[in-house]
Amino acid sequence: MGNTLVTSNNNRNINDSILGKRVKEILLNQEIVTDKDIKTGKDITQKINVVRGCCMDIVKPDPTDNEFITVNLPDGLTPGEDKFCKDKGRCIGNSKLGLQIKGDRKKLCPINLVPGETGKCDRIMVNKCAKELYDAGCVIVKTNSKGRKVRVWNAKNRNCFTKRGALIYGSEECTCINSATGFSLNTNPSNKIIGGNAFTNFDQNPFGLDGSSDNGFTKYSLDIFGYEPQYQKPQIFDARCASKKAAVGSGESAAYLLPEYSNKNLTICMNQINIKDSDIGAANFDNIKQNNSCGGGGKAPPIEKEPEEREVKVDDNKKVSKRESERIEKEAAEKLEKDKVAKEKAKEDKIANVKKEIEHKKEVKELEDKAKNDKIESVKKNIGQSKEAKEKEEQLLQEKEILLKEKQALADKADKAAAVKAAAVKAAAVKAAAIKAASRSTNIYYGIGIFIIIAIILFFVLKKKGGKKRRSDNDE
């Protein structure tokens, strides 16, 4: 499977194929229970690979090829093809792949996830590394042939040695911390931290020892080789640590360095390789060398001869057995998985409800849109009808106006005709009156003339009669 995930033959970083992206997603979301909140009693969890990336300072928007953390995927070995599988019976190997974490460090890493006294990384990484050796069954307190309790590297556990016989160190970032000259194998468990969900107080630890107040990091470390702090310099005394660098071709990341491991310019000398009570020898320490100028450099110090026995007292009241701690951790892991499944289901239910709500809203909107469209069509229809009615009304008004105008024109014409007729009648009347008046005047004149004529005639008649009478009188 590992070969289907690598970027190329010379680059074992997980690729960006569909499968690669899914594997990276799973690894980056991998959570473990690391402790229990003393106030609430709730488990404290961490996305362990993100935390590792933050502490190793490889979380970047565009990491280089060598900025990664190593993840191990199991590989099955075939006895006919692998000599170590055939000879030692260890037929489960590891495929080392590089996991890069692309992103904004400020968003992915809490501000306190940094090395040194001000950060949490030293404690997190030391505890993780020491626990790996404890979980592998490599650091134990056993009863020796004299019936005394002593701290040893478990020489009977073949999984505690590399193919070349050297002591294992766990994850690649633990090369220095888990060195024979490093912190984990030269410091007794802490008695000033609770140190994990398997423990309920400061005094408990996996070995039942009194513990050390000089250890503020972990309950899983054990002083097996007895190097004092000033000699815990794996960058000087352990070739694997001294030369450790990220190598994308092998999928092996750089080592995490405690602040005291960063200085390689030291002249301190190692007089011997301690083995103390462990049943191991020179073949298991070929990596322990003098890697500075002391004593010529590059040479292995002699193995400790006839080491003094270092008996320890085991208090069962302080001891949390491996079986018990595994039970507690298993229950915590199962609870975490159960809670995760419940959260996923709740998330899926929420998504389903949101989708359902969206569909409902969509249906409502469709109905509303339909109603709106129907209303619009109705309004348009009404507007069309209103427009038609309005046009008809306007037409009728226009026709009415035309009729009124025509009527007015006819009325005006009639009035004009009437006026003309009246004027004509008046003129005729005036004319008739004038004619009548003229006729009357003429008649008057005729009458006067006739009267005058009659008068004249009467005058002459009377005058004539008068003449005759006077003559008659005269005759008489």
**pLDDT (tens digit per residue) in 205-240:** 999 999 999 999 999 999 999 999 999 999 999 999
Residues 6+ away with beta carbon under 8 Å from 65: 11, 13, 248
Pairing state between β 101-102 and 59-60: parallel
pLDDT of residue 476: 47
Q: What is the dihedral of CA 196, 199, 204, 208, to 10 degrees?
A: -90
pLDDT of residue 296: 57
Under 8 Å between Cβ of 159 and 135? no
pLDDT of residue 162: 93
* pLDDT beyond 90 at 461: no
pLDDT of residue 5: 92
Average pLDDT over residues 18-43: 92
In this prediction, residue 272 has a pLDDT band, given cuts at 50, 70 and 90, of: very high
12-21, 279-288, 359-368, range with the lowest pLDDT: 359-368
pLDDT of residue 135: 97
* pLDDT beyond 80 at 449: no
Under 8 Å between Cβ of 32 and 125? no
Closest CA to 232 of 190, 192, 191, 274: 274
* pLDDT beyond 80 at 428: no
pLDDT of residue 88: 65
φ and ψ at 262, to 5 degrees? -80, -25
Rounded Cα distance between 255 and 178, Å, is 10
pLDDT of residue 365: 85
Tokens of 397: 């008004």
**5 or 434, higher pLDDT:** 5
89-98, 313-322, 360-369, range with the lowest pLDDT: 89-98
* pLDDT beyond 70 at 421: yes
pLDDT of residue 370: 85
φ and ψ at 141, to 5 degrees? -110, 120
The H-or-E segment that residue 20 falls in is helix 18-28
φ and ψ at 235, to 5 degrees? -70, -15
Average pLDDT over residues 268-280: 92
Rounded Cα distance between 127 and 120, Å, is 11
CB crowding 336-349: b at 16 or more within 10 Å, else e: eeeeeeeeeeeeee
pLDDT tens digits, one per residue of 145-154 = 999 999 999 9
Tokens of 267: 């002249």
Residue that has been written with the tokens 């556990």 in this structure: 157
pLDDT of residue 384: 67
155-164, 169-178, 429-438, range with the lowest pLDDT: 429-438
Residues 6+ away with beta carbon under 8 Å from 193: 202, 216, 217, 218, 219
In this prediction, what percent of the chain has a pLDDT beyond 70?
86
Average pLDDT over residues 407-412: 76
* pLDDT beyond 70 at 441: no
* pLDDT beyond 90 at 411: no
* Residue 155 CB neighbour total at 10 angstroms: 16
Rounded Cα distance between 313 and 319, Å, is 11
100-109, 268-277, 315-324, range with the lowest pLDDT: 268-277
* pLDDT beyond 70 at 41: yes
pLDDT of residue 91: 73
* pLDDT beyond 90 at 268: no
- One-letter amino acid at 312 equals V
pLDDT of residue 472: 53
In this prediction, residue 436 has a pLDDT band, given cuts at 50, 70 and 90, of: low
Q: What is the mean pLDDT of the chain?
A: 87
In three-state secondary structure terms, 274 is coil
Largest CA distance in the chain: 237
Rounded Cα distance between 28 and 103, Å, is 12
Average pLDDT over residues 284-301: 78
Tokens of 266: 């030291």
Under 8 Å between Cβ of 185 and 140? no
pLDDT of residue 267: 83
In this prediction, what percent of the chain has a pLDDT beyond 90?
59
Average pLDDT over residues 127-142: 97
